[in-house]
């Protein structure tokens, strides 16, 4: 009888542990630090941002496909690198075409990191992220909008962003 209880308990622990591991793995993706709406497609954003970077020697950028294994839906990863006051700074964005609108893209800031001071990261709560986001918005995105005559607006958090269900 004791063996049977131990066996049932062991099976339950394995099942519950497996379920918890699965749920933890699914929800382990961090929400974006901030979201922006771009009036245009990801392809248009890529062309205009590459042009903007070519005119600013302090910036480097690299666009890459989000998923090379399937049909190219236009989604891109963007890495922006710059040096500011001797600090090496890196921003990572995910660029997706907005499926709700024909000519609209969503830019998700997923990393803001100062490689020199080791501040920032993938979370809006990380030390130094707010300063890095402010610099991105005030000095890069605002100037990009002026120089390239484009519109980028911060997006409000939707219901699921507020719950942090990812």
Q: Is 105 left (phi over 0), alpha (psi -120 to 50) or beta?
A: beta
72 assigned to some structural domain: yes
Give the count of domains, the chain: 2
Residues 79 and 149 in one domain: yes
Residues 12 and 37 in one domain: no
Give the pLDDT mean for 14-39.
76
Task: Tell me how far apart the alpha carbons of residues 41 and 97 are, in angstroms, rounded to a whole number.
Answer: 6
105 assigned to some structural domain: yes
Average pLDDT, the chain: 85
Q: What is the pLDDT of residue 1?
A: 76
17 assigned to some structural domain: yes
Percent of the chain residues topping a pLDDT of 90: 54
Q: For 96-106, what is each residue's pLDDT tens digit?
A: 887 666 678 99
Helix, coil or strand: residue 60: strand
162 assigned to some structural domain: no
Band of the pLDDT at 44, cuts 50, 70, 90? very high
Q: Which two three-digit tokens encode residue 7?
A: 């066996």
Could you list the residue range(s) of the whole structural domain that residue 42 is in? 32-155
164 assigned to some structural domain: no
Q: What is the pLDDT of residue 166?
A: 42
Residues 24 and 40 in one domain: no
pTM of the model: 0.76
Q: With 50 as the cut, is the pLDDT of residue 142 above it? A: yes
Lowest mean pLDDT among 19-33, 49-63, 112-126: 19-33
């Amino acid at each position: 009888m004791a063996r049977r209880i131990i066996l049932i308990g062991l099976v339950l622990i394995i099942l519950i542990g497996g379920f918890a591991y699965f749920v933890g793995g699914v929800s382990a993706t961090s929400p974006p630090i901030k979201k922006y709406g771009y009036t245009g497609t990801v392809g248009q954003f890529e062309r205009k941002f590459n042009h903007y970077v070519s005119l600013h020697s302090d910036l480097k950028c690299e666009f890459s496909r989000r998923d090379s294994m399937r049909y190219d839906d236009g989604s891109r990863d963007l890495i922006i690198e710059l040096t500011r006051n001797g600090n090496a700074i890196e921003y990572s964005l995910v660029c997706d075409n907005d499926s709700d609108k024909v000519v609209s893209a969503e830019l998700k800031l997923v990393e803001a990191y100062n490689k020199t001071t080791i501040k920032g990261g993938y979370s809006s709560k990380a030390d130094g992220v707010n300063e890095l986001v402010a610099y991105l918005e005030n000095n890069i995105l605002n100037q990009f909008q002026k120089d390239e005559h484009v519109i980028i607006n911060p997006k409000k958090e939707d219901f699921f962003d507020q719950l942090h269900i990812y």
